[in-house]
């Protein structure tokens, strides 16, 4: 069983909707990440939080808004999305930010109509 839990697993939304993705990790890790996974492309890092502080924002459009209330929870707030934002959104955690050993959740499959 994964130590990183993502909800919802599937989400369909219109371009004018507002929704949120949730991630929770039970591993005692200090860093959490949002990645976007599109077919045939490398995983795209979106945001990194280390000890609840945002340490990286990879030029992500403002229609994606992250929130990290504590080291165990991470949210991705979505509003006014575009159809090209349809993808699998993966949350991951690691013990510290400077490690390449990530533990991923199962992802939230987002479809924007």
Partner 1 sequence: QQQVKQSPQSLIVQKGGISIINCAYENTAFDYFPWYQQFPGKGPALLIAIRPDVSEKKEGRFTISFNKSAKQFSLHIMDSQPGDSATYFCAASSPYKLSFGAGTTVTVRA
Smaller CB distance to partner 1: residue 8 or 14? 8
Piece of 12-20, 66-74, 79-87, 97-105 that binds partner 1 (CB under 8 A) = 97-105
Pairing, β 103-104 against β 44-50: unpaired
Restricted to residues 7-36, the positions that interact with partner 1 (CB under 8 A) are: none
Which residue of 2, 54, 82, 111 would you call a contact of partner 1, by CB under 8 A? 2
Residue 36 C-beta-side C-alpha neighbours within 13 Å: 18
Among 23, 9, 35, 39, smallest CA distance to 108 is for 9
Instruction: Kindly state whether residue 40 participates in binding partner 1, applying the rule CB under 8 A.
Output: yes
CB 90 within 8 A of CB 34: yes
Which residue of 53, 62, 69, 100 would you call a contact of partner 1, by CB under 8 A? 100
Piece of 13-21, 63-71, 73-81, 96-104 that binds partner 1 (CB under 8 A) = 96-104
Instruction: Kindly state whether residue 102 participates in binding partner 1, applying the rule CB under 8 A.
Output: yes
What the block records as the tokens of 7 is: 């909800």
Q: Per this entry, what is the length of the chain?
A: 113
Tell me which H or E stretch contains 94: strand 87-94
The residue ranges that bind partner 1 (CB under 8 A) are 2, 4, 40-43, 45, 55-56, 90, 92, 97-107
């Amino acid at each position: 069983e994964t130590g990183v839990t993502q909800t919802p697993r599937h989400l369909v939304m219109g371009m004018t909707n507002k929704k949120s993705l949730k991630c929770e990790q039970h591993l005692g890790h200090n860093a959490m990440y949002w990645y976007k996974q599109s077919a045939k492309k490398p995983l795209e890092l979106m945001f990194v939080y280390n000890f609840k502080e945002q340490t990286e924002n990879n030029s992500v459009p403002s229609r994606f808004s992250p929130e990290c209330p504590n080291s165990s929870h991470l949210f991705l707030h979505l509003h006014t999305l575009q159809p090209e934002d349809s993808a699998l959104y993966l949350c991951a955690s690691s013990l510290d930010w400077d490690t390449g050993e990530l533990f991923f959740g199962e992802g939230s499959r987002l479809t924007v109509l």
